Amino acid sequence: MDVHLILAIFHLFLVVPFFLYVGFMRAATPDYVFKGILALGVVLFLYHGYKAYVRFIASSPRLWVNVIHFALIAPLLIYIGYNEKNTPRPAYELLLITAFGAGGYHLYNLIHNLNNVAE
């Protein structure tokens, strides 16, 4: 199975609903979820920072994926996880925008990959 198909399914069924949940629940989100968000943000920051470096050295055309995760998504998650219930509204709004964007992008990729398999 194509790795891009697996990533699209993973983001559509796990990441997007999780971001939507946190974005809609805001300060009503349980404390342990904020700790998980913080840990996830740190892991994403380290992993995608490393992958961005490797892809930069290799002049990979997919470098942009890691840069977005490293520079935008991971810091947002760290910020929300660190501030917990004191997180200001704009951070949650940005998380919702990220969720909707990721949902649209990965739904498009899923449909595109499935159409290519059918041909």
Residues 8/111, Cβ–Cβ less than 8 Å: no
Up-side HSE of residue 5: CA atoms within 13 Å toward CB?
9
* CA angle in degrees (0–180, nearest 5) for 105-107-110: 110
Checking if the pLDDT of 79 tops 90, the result is yes
Which tokens belong to 24?
Answer: 């809609």
Query: Does 1 have pLDDT greater than 90?
Result: no
* Lowest pLDDT segment from 1-15, 74-88, 94-108: 1-15
The amino acid at residue 111 is I
The reported pTM is 0.94
Q: Which of 54, 47, 53 is nearest to 73 (CA)?
A: 47
